[in-house]
């Protein structure tokens, strides 16, 4: 599972590799528990590493209940 500590570690490792990555933080405009760092690949495509949010865990682990199976 990706949590806040994993996002922090990814940002640190990206910076150590010479990649400019934003300071990890919460982005409540996306979701209350959305925690991410953003960076660009060599072609300028903006990418992110984000935590494994609660709603995604629920969908992943409770999909049978949600589908009525």
Buried b (16+ CB within 10 A) or exposed e, 19-42: eebeebeeeeeeeebbbbbbbeee
What domain range is 9 assigned to? Answer: 4-67
Enter the pTM of the model: 0.76
How many structural domains are present in the chain?
1
Domain CATH for 17: 3.10.180.10
**Model confidence pLDDT, tens digit, residues 6-56:** 999 999 999 999 999 999 999 999 888 899 999 999 999 999 999 977 777
């Amino acid at each position: 599972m990706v949590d806040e500590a994993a996002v922090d570690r990814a940002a640190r490792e990206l910076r150590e590799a010479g990649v400019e990555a934003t300071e990890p933080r919460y982005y409540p405009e996306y979701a209350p528990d959305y925690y991410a760092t953003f960076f660009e690949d060599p072609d300028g495509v903006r990418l992110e590493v984000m935590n494994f949010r609660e709603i995604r865990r629920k969908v992943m682990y409770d999909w049978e209940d949600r589908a009525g199976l």
